[in-house]
Amino acid sequence: MSHKKFSVINTPVHNIDGIAKVTGRATYAFDVTLPGMLYGKILRSPHPHARIISIDTSKAEQFPGVRGVVTGKDTLGIKQGIWRRYEELCDEQILPLEKVRYIGEPVAAVAAVTEEIAEQALDLIDVEYEVLPAVYEPLEAIKKEAPTIHEGVERNINVTRHIEWGDVDEAFEEADYIREDWFKCSGQHHMCMETRCAVSNFTPEGKLTVYTGTQSAYYHQGLLAGVLGLREGDVRVIAPYTGGGFGGKFELDAAQFCSAVLSMKLHKPVKIVFTREEDFIASKRRTPMFYYVRTGVKKDGTFCARESRMFSNGGAYTGMGATALYLTGFFHSFPYKWKGYRYDGYRVYTNTMPSTSMRGFGAPQGMFCSETQIDWICADLGLDPFEVRRKNGHTPGYEVPGQAFIGSCGLEECIDEIEKWAKAKGELPPNRGIGISACGFMTGGIFNWFDTPYSFSSAVVTINVDGTVELYVGCQDIGQGSNTTMAIIAAETLGVKMEDIKVHSGDTDHCPADLGAWGSRQTLMTGNAVKMACEDAKKQLLEFAYAEMGINIVYDLDIKDRWVHIVARPERGMKYEELVQKALRGKDGQRIMGRGYYTPHRKGMISPAYSYMMQAVDAEIDPETGKIKIHEVMTAHDCGQPINPLGLVGQLEGAASMALGYAYLEDMPFEDGKLMNPNLVDYKVIRSTEMPPSPSIEVDTYEEEGPYGAKEAGEGLTNPTAAALDNAVFHAMGLQIKELPITPERIRKAIAEKKAQEAQK
């Protein structure tokens, strides 16, 4: 690994937008107000499955203050989806023409002079439905007699995915012990503090501008252009500050689409803001999954083979679900070496809200089933869970057959750190246990759903006469601090201070194309593009420095802390600002400009690099109530070279919080297709007062593919937590919980079942 001393990298830096946010000056899409702006509201289906016979909007159109109403007939009827390369996966009309497939699906939208008038006008729209039979669970939806949700789709199976390597059957024959289990993983709401919101403005010149919170301004530009029949260059997406995304603000939503359709009809700006209840019932969720897992091992704990079948509740439309279907199977094998591995995934349509990507992108479900079963196998065979993971874990240079190449890997060191921490706890009191879980995760997903000719990430840097730097990136800051990360990389590369860098992002008219914030890609991919752009600009500056300083080319020049100097004799040099001014004069006043781009050289199917981690949860269970008290969550983490230690801690703590919520609090119960807890009273997220201490230990590695050796941090840590908590419950009370979330009711049920089994013995 690299031991180079940095000026800015690996020093704690507060987010560059922090002051604007805490003082309330940060502008979100909700804050955007344009002259003559109208307010939109959306009428939604009360039925989980119904044919639309007719929609009468005449009374609503005549209501005082209403300026326009749109239905599916006001659209081009184009089916949209993020998988634009594959027509069969573009299956959603946001304003459907023929039928609705889930409760909350949009059927019409109103624009009025006030939000209240628009809301009242919804009651005046008369929709005649033919109610159809509905189905809500994937294992029911695949039956022959189940209702057909999308015509022409047999057994409601939306997408299938298959992963296999090695001779799986032969590897099972080598196993001394085989275990089989079924698991059920729940959905989870993204719960962004900012609900879906968009302000669309279509002008008589045929240009559309959309202000919205998004994880990828470029992808939304392309999606809007596709469904509205516009050229991409005639659509401008401006992403102001975005109040969270977590995978839920990557696809086109009804606020964006309906506001655009209304604006195109009326030639007025239209704002649509989802209420919290709308955000719950009519956005997308983490994908619920049913997993069958069969694992074969030797007596000494050596892993032989695994085969899995998974049925996911895809909901009404595909969205990002096809990718999650593959990724959950891929990461279900992580972070271990299997002689034979086979996964078959089935994404099933149901009459519930669509499922999509969410932080971890299918990996939390796959790893919950894997890591939980591994601890049960260790108990069955009398093996040490730490040693089994150490024996079978990935190592640097390992190749997952036909799937991935592992460059840097600090998994063994992570296991060592957590084992020392766990042993230091000593003997625990009754009903208290420590559970562990290992994890590996991608650093920059190699997916391009549009098949665009653009590079995966791009950056442009210009240097002003006073030495300040304008950095233009297409990557999207959704609260995770990517703009700060890019500023750090730029400052380090150019040899200037953080305060010299101004980051411009989130505007498709002015920023280069970038595929956005998903798959833990921005630090590695956009970071590499920023580094390349700054190196380009720096090279131009140093060419002038050689001439100005009269230095022979054999001497190396560098810039550090705004000082241009000979590397071998750092006292000899000139001020950075002085060099910039001389360079601009030498270029007849043209500013120095550097360009950078990054598209990874393919190293397998998923990612050019992988982060690794081991997590432990110290939890106590009340046997009377089934309630869980979490004492501590400890993580050892390998993210390569940390760029910003302060941001790293924030990402790891945030991931632990979200993952704990998924593990034992957050649930989305449905009755006849209706979500029963679409509010913050009944949907339980972990509060700050409930959050246990969650320290972390950083394991240093160096990743050749990453800028300055950096890798992913933050998304991957949502993957091991549910399993670590489930394993803590197992070690505390001997309970094998196979369903998420691990609620008090499920714990009490497991206690009762265990007592009944013991009584029979």
Residues 53-74: what's their mean pLDDT?
98
- Residue that the structure tokens 């089989």 belong to: 180
**Residue in this structure with the two tokens 């950083």, named with its chain if needed:** 698
Q: Which helix (H) or strand (E) holds 564?
A: strand 563-566
CA angle, residues 574, 580, 584, in degrees to nearest 5: 135
In this prediction, residue 1 has a pLDDT band, given cuts at 50, 70 and 90, of very low
pLDDT given at position 158: 96
Q: Give tens-digit pLDDT for 333-383.
A: 999 999 999 999 999 999 999 999 999 999 999 999 999 999 999 999 999
CB 665 within 8 A of CB 34: no
Q: What is the CA radius of gyration of the chain?
A: 27
Distance, CA of 40 to CA of 397 (rounded, Å): 54
In this prediction, residue 182 carries a pLDDT of 98
| Residue closest to 209 by CA, chosen among 509, 452, 473, 478 | 509
Bridge partners (DSSP) of residue 303 are 297
Quickly tell me which residue has 């009754």 as its tokens. 430
User: Using CA atoms, how far apart are residues 440 and 716, in angstroms rounded to an integer?
Assistant: 7
Q: What residue type is 218 in one-letter code?
A: Y
The pLDDT assigned to 3 comes to 45
Whether pLDDT at 476 is above 90: yes
**What string of DSSP letters covers 355-422?**
EE--TTTTHHHHHHHHHHHHHHHHHHHT--HHHHHHHHB--TT-EETTTEE--S--HHHHHHHHHHHH
DSSP-derived secondary structure for 157-173: EEEEEEEEES-HHHHHH
Mean pLDDT, to the nearest integer, of 730-757?
Answer: 96
Q: By the 8 A CB rule, do 475 and 457 touch?
A: yes
Query: Where do the H-state alpha helices sit in 267-320?
Result: 276-282
Whether the ω angle into residue 335 lies within 30 degrees of 0, i.e. cis, is yes
Each residue's pLDDT tens digit, 253-295:
999 999 999 999 999 999 999 999 999 999 999 999 999 999 9
pLDDT class of 555 with cuts at 50, 70, 90: low
Instruction: Report the phi/psi class of residue 2: left, alpha or beta, with left for phi > 0 and alpha for psi in -120 to 50.
Output: beta
pLDDT in tens, 427-436: 999 999 999 9
The per-residue pLDDT for range 292-318, each reduced to its tens digit, is 999 999 999 999 999 999 999 999 999
Q: 538 pLDDT exceeds 90?
A: yes
The reply to whether the predicted model has a pTM over 0.85 is yes
**174-190 pLDDT, tens per residue?**
999 999 999 999 999 99
Task: State pLDDT tens for residues 137-178.
Answer: 999 999 999 999 999 999 999 999 999 999 999 999 999 999
Nearest-angstrom CA–CA distance, 527 and 475: 10
Domains of the chain: 32-132+193-244+249-282 (3.90.1170.50), 297-441+608-760 (3.30.365.10), 456-598 (3.30.365.10)
Given a cut of 80, is residue 761 above it in pLDDT? no
Q: Which helix (H) or strand (E) holds 314?
A: strand 303-315
